């Protein structure tokens, strides 16, 4: 019988939904563990806040505030699921795959919602989503024969995107005045620049990385 004390035995690979959900240890891990549940909740929240933004219709009312609160709460948990998984030895392949997907679903949902209510031009949505989806696909394509280190600016990019989209979703201009709109334009400009630059950086790194059989 495997011990539940970390470091006693090698971790048992997850098998479906049987195994540890919350407790730390080295025994079998469930794919339905707490870290993965948090990640899935982040994904599920996305269509809800998109609907709320669209339902508000650009009126900057209660629905818009609720949508912004949901987005901020969901994006703020980025890192919580990963930290829990590492601390309690709940890391699973499904969690590793789902975590970046959750980030992209949240960011993409916010961009699309803002464009649907005509707060944000569609070309901005296209530029950012092409970068995000393109790099994700590239990562899967080259994963089999290349080891590519994570982009140094990747995490910074996600943080900037989260801050910018939170500022755009929260109708703070209703209370603080139109200067907030100007600040949002500057933030979005920085976001586009960082998103594109880090995408190019990743492409360069990917094509320079040696193949595993070299």
pLDDT at residue 96 in the model: 72
- Reported for 127-133, long-range contacts at CB under 8 A and 24+ positions apart, including other chains, are 127/192, 127/195, 127/196, 128/161, 128/191, 128/192, 128/195, 131/195, 131/196, 131/199, 132/104, 132/107, 132/108, 132/195, 133/104
Q: What is the pLDDT, as a whole number, of residue 134? A: 87
Residues β-bridged to residue 29: 20
- Please report, in tens digits, the pLDDT of each residue of the chain (214 residues total): 333 344 443 444 444 666 666 566 676 667 777 778 888 898 999 999 999 999 999 899 999 999 999 999 998 887 777 777 777 777 777 777 777 788 889 999 999 999 999 999 999 999 999 999 888 788 777 666 665 555 667 788 989 999 999 999 999 999 999 999 999 999 999 999 999 999 988 888 777 765 544 4
Domain boundaries, the chain: 34-208
CATH of segment(s) 34-208: 1.20.120.1760
pLDDT at 6: 40
Ramachandran angles phi, psi of 15, nearest 5°: -140, 95
What confidence score (pLDDT) does residue 37 get? 85
- Residues in contact with 77: Cβ distance below 8 Å, sequence separation at least 6, in sequence order: 38, 41, 42
């Amino acid at each position: 019988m495997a011990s539940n004390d970390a470091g006693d035995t090698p971790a048992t690979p997850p098998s479906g939904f049987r195994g540890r959900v919350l407790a730390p240890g080295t025994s079998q891990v469930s794919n339905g563990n707490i870290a993965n549940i948090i990640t899935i909740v982040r994904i599920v929240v996305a269509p809800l806040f998109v609907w709320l933004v669209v339902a508000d219709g650009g009126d900057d009312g209660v629905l818009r505030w609720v949508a912004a609160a949901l987005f901020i709460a969901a994006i703020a948990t980025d890192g919580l699921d990963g930290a829990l998984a590492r601390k309690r030895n709940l890391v699973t392949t499904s969690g590793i795959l789902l975590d970046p997907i959750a980030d992209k679903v949240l960011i993409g949902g916010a961009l699309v919602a803002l464009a649907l209510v005509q707060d944000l031009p569609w070309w901005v949505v296209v530029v950012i989503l092409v970068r995000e989806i393109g790099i994700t696909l590239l990562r899967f394509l080259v994963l089999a024969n290349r080891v590519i280190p994570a982009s140094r600016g990747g995490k910074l990019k996600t943080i900037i995107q989260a801050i910018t989209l939170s500022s755009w979703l929260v109708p703070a201009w209703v209370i603080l005045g139109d200067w907030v709109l100007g600040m949002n334009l500057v933030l979005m400009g920085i976001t586009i620049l960082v998103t594109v630059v880090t995408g190019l950086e990743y492409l360069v790194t990917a094509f320079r990385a040696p193949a595993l059989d070299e």
